[in-house]
Amino acid sequence: MITFAGRSIGAGAPCLVVAELGTSHQGDLRQARALIDEAVAAGAECIKFQLVHAREILHPKSGFVHLPTGRIALYDQFLALERGLDFYAALKEHTESAGALFLCSPFGIQSARELKELGARALKIASPELNHFPLLREAASYGMPLFLSCGVSLLGDIERALAITGKEQVMLLHCVTSYPAPEEEYNVTVLESLRGVLGVQVGLSDHSLDPVLVPSLAVLHGAGVVEKHFTISRAGTGLDDPIALEPAQFRRMVSAIRRAEADQPAETHERLRRDYGAERVRAVTGSGVKELAPSERANYSRTNRSLHAALEIHRGSVIAASDVAVLRTEKELRPGIGPEFLPRVIGATAKRGVPDGEGIEWADII
């Protein structure tokens, strides 16, 4: 059991329902407040945001994303979402005044420190940052609860993260890093495996489109948290709006979660088999083995963090800390070696040049 702002979360406590607003507010405070109010009215008990500094996340050369407004550089999309700390203070104030818990994801040291300064009571670490070891060390030093999302990861990746954060104040959120994620790939019995093998509290971060099937089964298999993207309209221009739940769908999810908590497991299973078919329910239930889902395999080493050149590194130069960044690779650049090797890279002599933005490979320093 962990305690978040006085709320007990984990085995034996009611499931905490989190509305992931992310950046769907588009940096507009009026829109953000409307989203918060709609999410709370739909049954969300916790509202989650993302504190964005583009340079903490990716390199300007990372590639493009296709949005309803057109093709835009991914870096520019994040850059346009940057706001001052007063913006996040207003989000926190409005969230808490609406009776919900405030949760936010940092993406690097600066944003983590800003959230601590803001008085955040817990932090959410997104799946791509599960191997951002400098960030994990910083967040763990605060002594507050940490929600670690573990999509696009292997068991060894989770173990390395927990070796830094510890387990007492940690909840792992199982997810599939694909947008949208196929329900049949969710393998929800892995929740029991993670709790049993690693000895931590577990929950679900759900990117699937259906509001009932995956959340209901996750509750049956021990999810202490269910997080789902929320939007007022899927036709919105936010990065995650196309895969988010609208208010009526979110209410349906909350109702399904509470019903799954109240009913006997056999009743819930029978209802889901009737509504979705036994084969589909069996597929979502899965094997319980922690492995990459088919839809996220191509993202491994690209969505999560690796070491990149923060500027052009010339052959024969000694690599300084300012020359290296722990970034998501994303669309177009090559991945680098893992962030755990950052101390090995700093101070090494470049054996060949590394273009600005590209991943740093072993051949570049050995």
For the residues of 272-289, what is the DSSP string, one character each? HHHHH-HHHHHHHH----
For residue 165, give every residue at least 6 positions away whose Cβ sits within 8 Å of its Cβ, in sequence order, or none.
136, 139, 140, 146, 148
Contact 345, 337 (CB under 8 A): yes
- Record: fold of 2-296: TIM Barrel (3.20.20)
Average per-residue pLDDT for the chain: 95
* CA 329/CA 300 separation, integer angstroms: 10
Task: Determine the pLDDT at residue 282.
Answer: 97
Beta strands in 131-289 (DSSP E): 146-149, 170-174, 201-206, 225-229
Percent of the chain with pLDDT over 70: 99
27 pLDDT band, cuts 50/70/90, is confident
Please say if the pLDDT value at position 267 is more than 80.
yes
Cβ 110 vs Cβ 53: under 8 Å: yes
Domain with CATH 3.20.20.70 in the chain: 2-296
Task: List all residues 6 or more positions away from 105 whose beta carbon is below 8 Å from its beta carbon.
Answer: 48, 49, 50, 51, 123, 124, 125, 126, 129
Cis peptide before 215 (omega within 30 of 0): no
Per-residue pLDDT band at 184 (split at 50, 70, 90): very high
Whole-number pLDDT of residue 68:
63
Cβ-proximal residues to 319 (8 Å cutoff; 6+ apart), any chain: 313, 345, 346, 347, 348, 349, 350, 365
Q: Indicate the pLDDT class of residue 299, thresholds 50, 70 and 90.
A: confident
User: Is 301-364 CATH 2.120.10.70?
Assistant: no
Task: Please say whether the beta carbons of 313 and 106 come within 8 A.
Answer: no
Looking at residue 65, what is its pLDDT? Answer: 73
The CATH 3.90.1210.10 domain(s) of the chain lie at 301-364
pLDDT at residue 200, rounded to an integer: 96
Is residue 193's pLDDT more than 70?
A: yes
